[in-house]
Amino acid sequence: MNLDAAKQTFLEEARELLEDMERILLDVEATETTDEQLNALFRAMHTIKGSAGLFGMDEIVHFTHEAENVVDLLRGGHLALSEDLSGLLLRCHDHVKAMLAVVDDKAMQQEMLQTSLLDELRQYAQPAASEELASSSQASAPEQGGLRDWVMSLRFNEDVLRNGMDPSAFFRYLRLLGEFLVVQPVLCRLPHAERFDPESCYLRFELLFSSDASQQMLLDVFEFVREDSQIHIFPVGEAATHWPQLIADADEAEQAAVRQAWHALGLDPEAPACVAAQPEPAAPAAQTVDKASEKADKPATSAAEAKPPRASESRFIKVEAAKLDSLINLIGELVIAGAAANLMARRSAQSALVESTIAIANLIEQIRAGTLSMRMVQIGEIFSRFPRVVRDVSKELGKSIQLNVSGADTELDKSMVDKLGDPLMHIVRNAMDHGIESSEARLAAGKPAEGNVWLNAYHESGSVVIEVADDGAGLRKDKILAKAVANGLVPADSVMPDGDIYKLIFEPGFSTAEQVTNISGRGVGMDVVRRSIEQLRGTIDIDSAVGEGTTFRIRLPLTLAIIDGFLVSVGNATFVIPLETVIECIELPADALQGDAHNCLNLRGEVLPLLGLNRFLELGQPHAKRQNVVVVRYGDSKAGLVVDELLGEFQTVIKPLGNLFRHLRAISGSTILGSGEVALILDVPSLIHFATSQEAERFASHAEHAQQRGGHGNH
């Protein structure tokens, strides 16, 4: 473990603590505050401050110290968590997050320290601290300024430097908490020059320290070394009690050196009650201001007792995403190689070899499924960002909006989760700005004054569906269509289905907003939303009702890496259909695609639109005497894809198409077969949309002709 790795670990843990802090602050705005929540807030600020001090990030230490003071007064009951104070702490959260983002830029850190947030924090802290001091003075006669003298015995592990820790960093941080009265190094462990290792730590320190911090706060300074070092901190009055512990593992030379160091501190280890050279205050040590100090007065018997065990350490490990991506790519190549080996085994007609390749293929399938499951994360990782967004935007707009989240435990590929944040952000912000009405308008329309935004996720037919809904004014089709005609997007006399009209809002620069705000209204963003979703091989649909609200429905595949496919042939070409979209396969009736009347099939009383891939892809006439229909479904729509041959299931490693083919609507990717040939992966949602829209247009055309013939007959 080197210092850079330790710093990276600190940054990751600090971000997690800040996420917890934001969540708690948003929770306490909606409900009553609890002691547990306030303690968690304090731990977040205190841990970040302490860890930053170890790495010499003095600017972060200074800022978090001020925030920690305010949170400490909150948990002590000397401040109430008002809406204004909660907003201030949220802004402090943002500021610490920004400081961590530029942690290597010292000049920027200094500049960010010059912030008005510090003055606001002090305005809260100083009156409350004065009130706390006055009340504690009336209750008892405490030590002057709350200061106490502590004995510290620090015997660092020999490998502390190799583990990336610098003992001097602990002393720099302690200076922020109090004053060193006497420091005595114990040098008896230093070896001779020929045996001296510059990477080993041979130091031990006995020191007298004055501070108003509690014992637990002082122990927390050594959080990263307490497990493998001997750290003892106790009040001066309890020194004799702890003396046997300090010398338990020391040889005679070290015992003598420590005893000599204690004499230099003004302590007598053999006395019934050790007394420091400096006069002690008359008040007993047990009388302290806060409960944390009362607990801190208990002797710290060992580092293990002072620190709670980490039960979850052995259950989870962190792995870099790049390493996991590399592993999945290798498994993809393994799938292709396995398919090639299986093909060669079948051609050889050796039954033992075929059985072996089948067993290997089964193991590869299990490895593939297990590895892909490791890259699946809960979509709540994204949803957790939005309570803060809804809070801030609703206050900026002057609206009362409640966020409702469900399905946060739905799992999705990590690579897709990372790319979903911005599209969802655009949709949610537009829902709050354009969808939800003002409280006055809602009351006038007979609605509750508080609007609602829903975030929901669930699995459906091998896909993940994410819904963003609101109970606002809804989309007005006439207004959208008029704007589209004015912009030249559609003809003035066009008749379009509702869904196609709603999708016009995804056109670049399209906006029906009468007023541009800081949130939206410039016609920028919704086109980016659609493009981002399509890059993830997904679709986005809109349902809306005037006066009731709007729902954006995003459908995404579970993963972008490896899928189960269904292999078919059309002409001389081979295609892959994602297996999750396949419902069944049937033989095509001989007269199903004859004539121009309707390209559809009566499937057990259900009208199924058909799409002949040989015609659609211009591959010529079918070679096979018998054709087959693969019935596919995406969402609520079904269609039948007419193919020549059914070749069976196939593990499909998705290879992206080049930029030259990125506009193809019928093809979503490619894969390599066991024979080394390339097969294209069909874009089922686009094919279903084309088949159903073609059938709808054909039906409307025939209905119009029939109506015209009826009109001529009446004449």
- DSSP assignment of 21-38, as one string? HHHHHHHHHHS---HHHH
Task: Kindly tell me if the per-residue pLDDT of 178 is higher than 60.
Answer: yes
Q: How far apart are CA 246 and CA 250, in angstroms?
A: 8
HSE of 217 in the Cβ direction (CA atoms, 13 Å)?
24
Query: What percentage of the chain carries pLDDT values higher than 90?
Result: 12
At residue 186, what are phi and psi to the nearest 5 degrees? -110, 110
Mean pLDDT of all residues in 219-241: 84
Angle formed by the axes of helices 167-177 and 58-75, nearest 10°: 50
pLDDT tier at 272, thresholds 50, 70, 90: low
Q: What pLDDT was estimated at residue 251?
A: 86
**Chain segment 589-633, per-residue pLDDT in tens:** 876 655 444 578 888 888 888 888 888 888 877 666 788 999 998
Average pLDDT of the chain?
80
Task: Kindly tell me if the per-residue pLDDT of 552 is higher than 90.
Answer: yes
Mean pLDDT of all residues in 127-149: 52
**Chain segment 306-359, per-residue pLDDT in tens:** 334 443 344 667 788 788 888 888 888 888 888 888 888 888 888 899 899 989
SS3 at position 225: coil
Q: Which residues of 466-487 are buried (b: 16+ CB within 10 A; e: fewer)?
A: bbbbbbbbbbeeeebbebbeee
Q: Percentages helix, strand, coil for the chain, rounded to the nearest 5?
A: 50, 20, 30
What does the block give as tokens for 693?
């829209």
For residues 456 and 148, the model is more confident at 456
Please say whether the dihedral angle defined by the alpha carbons of residues 284, 289, 294 and 300, taken in this order, is positive or negative: negative
Task: Kindly tell me if the per-residue pLDDT of 41 is higher than 70.
Answer: yes
Beta 582-587 vs 573-578: how paired, if at all? unpaired
Nearest to 684 by CA among 588, 581, 610: 581
If you count them, how many residues does the chain have?
715
Tokens 């006038």 found at: 444
Mean pLDDT of all residues in 202-214: 87
Tokens 């969808």 found at: 435
pLDDT tier at 641, thresholds 50, 70, 90: very high
pTM: 0.64
Which of 13-27, 42-56, 523-537 ranks highest by mean pLDDT? Answer: 13-27
pLDDT tier at 417, thresholds 50, 70, 90: confident
Q: What pLDDT was estimated at residue 145?
A: 42
Q: How far apart are CA 470 and CA 455, in angstroms?
A: 9
Mean pLDDT of all residues in 282-307: 37
Q: How far apart are CA 19 and CA 381, in angstroms?
A: 11
Which strands, in side-by-side order, build the sheet including 667-672?
645-653, 562-570, 573-578, 678-682, 667-672
Q: How far apart are CA 385 and CA 580, in angstroms?
A: 31
**Chain segment 443-489, per-residue pLDDT in tens:** 999 999 999 999 999 988 768 899 999 999 998 888 888 888 888 88
Q: What pLDDT was estimated at residue 455?
A: 94
| 487: region left, alpha or beta (phi > 0 left; psi from -120 to 50 alpha) | alpha
Mean pLDDT of all residues in 275-280: 43
pLDDT tier at 714, thresholds 50, 70, 90: low
